[in-house]
Amino acid sequence: MDLLKNLLFTQVKPTDFTRLKDEWKKITAPLEKAKEKPLRFLRYFVMANYKIKNVRSDAVVREDEIYDWLVDRDNAALCDYKSDPFAFVRKIIRNVEQFIGFTQGRANDGQASLAMDTMQQLCGAAFSLHYVLLLAASGFPKSLFEHFVRQLESFLFYYIFTKTPTKDLERSFSLWADDLREIGGVTDEKVQKVRLNEFITEKFQKNMASKDADLADAMKRYTLGSMQQYRTRYLLAKLTQYVEMAFKGMTTPGALGEFAALEIEHILPNTPELELRESFGAENPGKVYDDYKTHLGNLTMLEKPINIVAGNGYFAAKTAEYVKSGNYLTRSIVRLSPVGKDSSITRINAKLKSFEHWSAAAIDERQEMLIGLAKEIWTTAPIDAG
């Protein structure tokens, strides 16, 4: 960052030094306040805003390559900081504002966004490469941007939950940023939507399809320790929200936070009495209690007061508490609601299952059921271009 600052100072008259110094603070001060690494931002800024050419032909700029990239003659012309350094600085400032907004769950208009907040709960602090795409798409109309974010969330779910190395995405994201900038520059609203739909199909949908088998395998083996707990919480919250929306006939999701705030309940208790552990072993020969208690199929979301009462007892004792839950995914473990005929409830019931006994087989069966729901949740959809 200091090298870039010094480079820009060589492009302005001494009388403009104070002005440039003041403008530069609008870049560094917000990043410092937000505790964001300046070099990481600068790398994402370059990849999001410019077509990257390098000797590796991988379209990627690494942190230790940023300055060399900037002083390259062709790239200097691309950035145009020699003829108009202040315009270049203002562009960085705008990107800093967008970048920090994105890290705080805001949309491209700086306002709070449910779509962005939900995606942040998936990515957390461990994944940040998607900011390249968000910066490249920041010129979209708000509704188009939010649609893009929802599709990006599904794409990232596939890659994060299959533990795909980030380096596999770097080249793709840099190249895709070029496409997104181009789409953002389209002035015809209908054409812009058509172009984004094509992008989603070609870049997200096809890559997700290639990961189908990997995701199914990862989900089949998924346990509480498979990923960071905040991601397991995100996974369970999304499943819970989806079933609740279907149960109530809702089509537009609200905040994920109300579901993520629930407690993760082990149906087969995490710290069981010895008698329960022994009975599980006797009823499920060859199955290890400590393996099954952390399986995805053994986990559900439950309100804290109910969770406390449910305790570490047998399934039969817990069911009386589960039916008191405010979310249908948990209540459905005990029984399915008989309300309606060919209604939103009967349609979601067809995808759920209740259990009279809780065994290793039941946990495996529920895990498969949750995988089926996941395939419906993390999908892509076109935006209406009509």
Q: How far is CA 64 from CA 45, 69, 73, in A?
A: 14, 10, 18
Tell whether the model's pLDDT for residue 342 goes beyond 70: no
**Extended beta strands in the chain, E state:** 263-266, 299-302
In this prediction, residue 245 carries a pLDDT of 96
Q: By the 8 A CB rule, do 89 and 9 touch?
A: no
Q: Return the higher-pLDDT residue of 58 and 333.
A: 333
First-to-last alpha carbon distance for the chain, in angstroms, is 45
pTM, rounded to two decimals = 0.95
How far apart (Å, rounded) are the C-alpha atoms in residues 347 and 245?
12
Average pLDDT over residues 5-27: 95
How far apart (Å, rounded) are the C-alpha atoms in residues 316 and 268?
11
In this prediction, residue 56 carries a pLDDT of 83
Tell whether the model's pLDDT for residue 385 goes beyond 90: no
pLDDT in tens, 146-191: 999 999 999 999 999 999 998 889 999 999 999 999 999 999 999 9
| Mean of per-residue pLDDT scores for the chain | 95
Tell whether the model's pLDDT for residue 341 goes beyond 70: no
Tokens of residue 52, six digits: 């990257």
Tell whether the model's pLDDT for residue 340 goes beyond 70: no
How far apart (Å, rounded) are the C-alpha atoms in residues 291 and 219?
15
pLDDT in tens, 347-370: 999 999 999 999 999 999 999 999
Tell whether the model's pLDDT for residue 339 goes beyond 80: no
Of the candidate ranges 21-35, 52-66, 345-359, the one whose mean pLDDT is the lowest: 52-66
SS3 282: helix
Tokens of residue 83, six digits: 């003829």
Tell whether the model's pLDDT for residue 217 goes beyond 70: yes
Tell whether the model's pLDDT for residue 59 goes beyond 70: yes
Average pLDDT over residues 33-60: 94
Average pLDDT over residues 295-303: 97
In this prediction, residue 103 carries a pLDDT of 96
In this prediction, residue 288 carries a pLDDT of 96
Provide, rounded to the nearest whole percent, the portion of the chain with pLDDT above 70.
99
In this prediction, residue 54 carries a pLDDT of 85
